[in-house]
Amino acid sequence: MTATEERSTGSEKKKDLPFAVILNVGSSAENHTGSWRTERPVYVDLLPPCNKACPAGENIQQWLHYAEEGNYEAAWREIMVNNPLPAVMGRVCYHDCQTACNRAQVDEAVGINAIERFLGDKALEEGWSVKPLGPASGKSVLVVGAGPSGISAAYHLARLGHSVTVRDDGEKPGGMMRYGIPSYRLPRGILDQEIDRIANMGVKFEMNTKVTDLKSALDEFDAVFLAVGAQIGRHTNIPAGSASHVMDAVSMLRDVEEEGEATDGDKPLLGRRVVVYGGGNTAIDAARTAKRLGATDSVIVYRRTRDRMPAHDSEVQEAEEEGIKLRWLSTIKHIDEGELMIEKMKLDENGFPQPTGEFEKLEADSVVMALGQESDLGLLNGLDDVEVDHGVVKVNSQMMTGHEGLFAGGDMVPSQKNVTVAIGHGKKAARYIDAYLRGAEYTPAPKHADATLDRMETWYYSDAPHQVREKLEGARRASTFAEVVQGLDESSALFEARRCMSCGNCFGCDNCFGVCPDNAVTKLEPGSYEFKYDYCKGCGICAEECPCGAISMVPEEI
């Protein structure tokens, strides 16, 4: 009797292979092992740590497999199964996949983010496009918000055959990708091209259109997905003189985008000495932007220490390279024209900042508040069955609010607030909405067991240094909005892809075939194998020598 199992999660690079499930005791085979074997080897398909860590749910190991073979279009199309904006994500994602990468424990993590950017840019150069997966469903969906979550949902819903309209009160689509992330991190031409590709699939973008009547929208469309994001800057009660110049970081960054960073007459009036109050990525972006707008002194004031700063390490490092100053353990107590009163802080035993009573003055022409963002939930007025808790909308397991047919995701629901998470939310929402429109519920497939480093033989992987992306020099880039981090060329991207260790999934290295002392491994098609259990004595050498940990020894069935 044979059994073949095709599992639904983890890498799809290699499917589980058929294998005999009966020992065949009493066989007349010359090398029969008898009934004393207690374990047998089986090929497994495990969940790579990169796949598990990706908030967008990409099958990273699969597209790396295509990339390392030089099949760039197949790699890009595999990314597009889950993420419609690879050229964007290759620039702005904080690559949790690389933090989780098993190779980081061997030498350095695989540069997944850089390879994704290479593939995304390659697709734009070649004009690759994506088509719907099937026929039109006859159903229509309204997406409210043209940020990463809304765009992702629109793309996936269009692929599933639904008619999708995106409405947003902004002049151009992109949400915080356009109005919150400076162009030195995300060039607008790249963003525009990836959004245009989605529009060419039939998604209709209605800009400068603010949605205020959801009841009418729910009558007009079969389902509505809310993805308004968090674009309102939080404020704090700091005493300020009437002549002091204070603004929030979200508004400042939006003004730069809307008014044009290159036109001197349209630049926000920040002055020569700018202080940014906050410790997140938005604070870093605001300080770096102020420097590019002509500030001679751009200072970040943060009440904790660097190790407790929520901003990403690479962003902080780049800011310091550009001459941004950071004042730790400090808080603003009062704002006057041209001057701030700063109080020094200290951390208590729980890591919370406490006042010291020590004050000093800091010169500043303007203060930029970067204390987080909130969602504008005014469009929910009149929908009493939609529950809001502490500024976020509650949704059920299908991402539906308390109102039938009204879904929500991205920054306006409980979640981490970044582009990658938002794109993942959009994909999940599309699947739930699709099921709802078809009168069903979507159930995610179960996850495979984790592919951990202790299963692997790392000696197999040669010393291959991580390919570093070049950056403009700090002094040079501080006065321009040109893109700071450069991409990999083809040879470097190919080299980097080949550093992948294929954790937990067979990649056809022939080790099991070569080391088996009993010739109990049969080669099938290239890169796949089958165990002949009549010959296998269960020694486990194949499992021990498998570089990627794709063989497990399991107890015999009696």
In this predicted structure, the answer to whether residue 261 has a pLDDT above a threshold of 70 is no
265 and 330 in a single domain? The answer is yes
- Of 352, 369, 386, the one marking the end of a domain is 369
Residues of the chain with pLDDT > 70, as a percent, come to 92
Query: How many CB atoms sit inside 10 A of residue 146's CB?
Result: 29
C-alpha to C-alpha distance for 72 and 357, rounded to whole angstroms? 60
Phi-psi category of residue 367: left, alpha or beta, with phi > 0 → left and psi -120 to 50 → alpha: beta
Give the chain's mean pLDDT.
90
- Domain membership flag for residue 35: yes
432 and 542 in a single domain? The answer is no
- Please report the pLDDT score of residue 307 as a whole number: 92
How far is the CA of 428 from the CAs of 159, 225, 310, 410, in angstroms? 13, 11, 26, 10
- Domain membership flag for residue 286: yes
Per-residue pLDDT tens digits for 291-348: 999 999 999 999 999 999 999 999 999 999 999 999 999 999 999 988 999 999 999 9
- Please report the pLDDT score of residue 8 as a whole number: 37
380 and 362 in a single domain? The answer is no
Tokens standing for residue 356: 């010291």
- Please report the pLDDT score of residue 267 as a whole number: 62
165 and 288 in a single domain? The answer is no
C-alpha to C-alpha distance for 126 and 332, rounded to whole angstroms? 51
- Domain membership flag for residue 551: yes
- Please report the pLDDT score of residue 176 as a whole number: 93
Q: What are phi and psi of 449, to 5 degrees?
A: -65, 155
C-alpha to C-alpha distance for 385 and 393, rounded to whole angstroms? 11
In this predicted structure, the answer to whether residue 263 has a pLDDT above a threshold of 50 is no
Give the best-scoring range by mean pLDDT among 5-14, 235-244, 379-388. 379-388
317 and 243 in a single domain? The answer is yes
- Of 345, 369, 393, the one marking the end of a domain is 369
In this predicted structure, the answer to whether residue 12 has a pLDDT above a threshold of 50 is no
196 and 276 in a single domain? The answer is no
232 or 153, greater pLDDT:
153
C-alpha to C-alpha distance for 388 and 397, rounded to whole angstroms? 16
In this predicted structure, the answer to whether residue 236 has a pLDDT above a threshold of 60 is yes
Domain extent for 23: 1-45+505-558
- Please report the pLDDT score of residue 6 as a whole number: 33
In this predicted structure, the answer to whether residue 10 has a pLDDT above a threshold of 80 is no
- Please report the pLDDT score of residue 527 as a whole number: 77
Average pLDDT, integer, range 58-78:
97
In this predicted structure, the answer to whether residue 5 has a pLDDT above a threshold of 80 is no
20 — pLDDT class (breaks 50, 70, 90)? very low
242 and 359 in a single domain? The answer is yes
How far is the CA of 76 from the CAs of 126, 134, 200, 459, 554, in angstroms? 11, 20, 18, 30, 36
- Of 369, 384, 418, the one marking the end of a domain is 369
Task: Give the CATH number for residue 326.
Answer: 3.50.50.60
243 and 166 in a single domain? The answer is no
Task: Give the CATH number for residue 550.
Answer: 3.30.70.20
Strands 366-369, 232-233: parallel, antiparallel or unpaired by DSSP? unpaired
- Domain membership flag for residue 454: no
- Please report the pLDDT score of residue 268 as a whole number: 65
- Domain membership flag for residue 433: yes
- Domain membership flag for residue 4: yes
Question: Partners of 345 in the beta sheet?
Answer: 355
- Please report the pLDDT score of residue 98 as a whole number: 96
For 229-241, give one letter per residue: b (16+ CB within 10 A) or e. Answer: bbbbbbeeebebe
351 and 386 in a single domain? The answer is no
Strands 223-226, 140-144: parallel, antiparallel or unpaired by DSSP? parallel
Count structural domains, the chain.
Answer: 3
316 and 349 in a single domain? The answer is yes
- Domain membership flag for residue 25: yes
